[in-house]
Amino acid sequence: MNPLHRPSRVPDRPASQESPPRQYVLGEQAVSAPRLAPGLHVVATPIGNLGDITLRALETLAAADVIACEDTRVTRKLIDRYGIATALTPYHDHNAAQARPKLLARLAAGEAVALVSDAGTPLVSDPGFKLVRAARDAGHAVTTAPGSSAVMAALSIAGLPTDRFFFEGFLPAKEAARKSRITELARIPATLVLFETGPRLGAALADLAAGLGARDAAVCRELTKLYEEVRRGDLAALARDYAETEPKGEIVIVIAPPAADQPDAEDVDTMLRSALDRVSVKDAVAEVAAASGLPRRAVYQRALALAKDDDAPR
């Protein structure tokens, strides 16, 4: 055999770590999991429907020496469904500082560590980032078994532009901080994707409607599950829908980008001055926000600035 064309092979592990072939179960058929290379394996898991697991994810979870997960009770449901016997160890926000050195020590010993979140792709609104960085800094191999993501699932069915999007995650829980962040998001020329909880959904949509204007949006709830729901409308209409309703389950909000034909700053100033000559500041802001498609909060701030400039001594 040409020594330059030897087949690749998984590095040998210490003899003490040799174990019988691992396996997972599909239906009633046991399937052997190929031996797994040492390193950190970032594994996506289903966001709701356990049938969305990939074959590669099953092979990786079955062949790993340990599975690091946010909540062992949640991950246990998945591995029990597929007859996987790999040991679980918790790795989450509250124990990461203590758990991370132990996982790094296992990597240094030549083990294969699988990292999962409770659902979806790890490192998206979960604590896996520091472990991946530490593993890379220590020279360990890091690879991914990609799969489900609530962000991509929502974008695929919301019916809104997907050529450019910005993932925000969760908005601040406190009203003042949330409104401030929405003002910043208003300037982003892309579809927005946010996570939200049922108890906060109505208030968040109301603040989004006030801060972003009359944008189309979709509230995607319980994606891939039995009671999956996608409700479309402009932000104000959705805010009214959920004002008195506290929906259950996991929620993703998808919001259309700002209109491409919005007026520039000079045009807005002209519109505001004209409106302020006729009506109150409140009514002028409402009029210009509706006509321009700009967020009411941003128009209001500009109206105050114009009023201050006009009152300044010359």
pLDDT score recorded for residue 286? 83
Q: Closest by alpha carbon to 41, among 25, 57, 22?
A: 57
pLDDT score recorded for residue 180? 92
pLDDT score recorded for residue 267? 78
- Report the C-alpha gap between 70 and 88 in whole angstroms: 10
pLDDT score recorded for residue 8? 37
Q: Which fold has domain 20-148?
A: Cobalt-precorrin-4 Transmethylase; domain 1 (3.40.1010)
- Sheet with 39-43, edge to edge strand ranges: 88-90, 66-69, 112-115, 39-43, 142-145
- Report the C-alpha gap between 126 and 118 in whole angstroms: 9
**pTM for the full predicted model:** 0.76
pLDDT score recorded for residue 176? 93
CA–CA–CA angle 228, 51, 63 (5° rounding): 140
Residue 27's Cβ-side half-sphere holds a number of Cα atoms within 13 Å equal to 1
Element (H, E) at 287: helix 281-292
CA–CA–CA angle 89, 221, 42 (5° rounding): 30
Q: Is 68 helix (H, G, I), strand (E, B) or coil?
A: strand
Q: Which fold has domain 151-255?
A: 3.30.950
- Do residues 112 and 35 make contact, with C-beta atoms less than 8 angstroms apart? no
Terminal CA-to-CA distance of the chain, rounded, Å? 90
- Do residues 204 and 230 make contact, with C-beta atoms less than 8 angstroms apart? no
Strands 39-43 and 112-115: parallel
pLDDT score recorded for residue 85? 95
pLDDT score recorded for residue 197? 96
Q: Give exposure, 91-124, as e/b (b: 16+ Cβ within 10 Å).
A: bbeeebeebbeebbebbeebbbbbbbbbbbbbbb
Domain ranges of the chain: 20-148, 151-255, 265-308
- Do residues 302 and 269 make contact, with C-beta atoms less than 8 angstroms apart? yes
pLDDT score recorded for residue 9? 40
- Report the C-alpha gap between 172 and 180 in whole angstroms: 9
pLDDT in tens, the chain (314 residues): 343 333 334 444 444 455 555 899 999 899 999 999 999 999 999 999 999 999 999 999 999 999 999 999 999 999 999 999 999 999 998 999 999 999 999 999 999 999 999 999 998 876 788 999 999 999 999 999 999 999 999 999 999 999 999 999 999 999 999 999 999 999 899 999 999 999 999 999 999 999 998 899 999 999 999 999 999 999 999 999 999 889 999 999 999 998 766 667 787 888 888 888 888 888 888 888 776 767 777 888 888 888 777 665 54
- Sheet with 165-170, edge to edge strand ranges: 165-170, 191-196, 251-255, 216-221, 229-234
- Report the C-alpha gap between 116 and 50 in whole angstroms: 14
Instruction: Please give the full DSSP string across 106-156, using - where no structure is assigned.
Output: HHHTT-EEEE--SSBSTTSSSTTHHHHHHHHHTT--EEEE----HHHHHHH
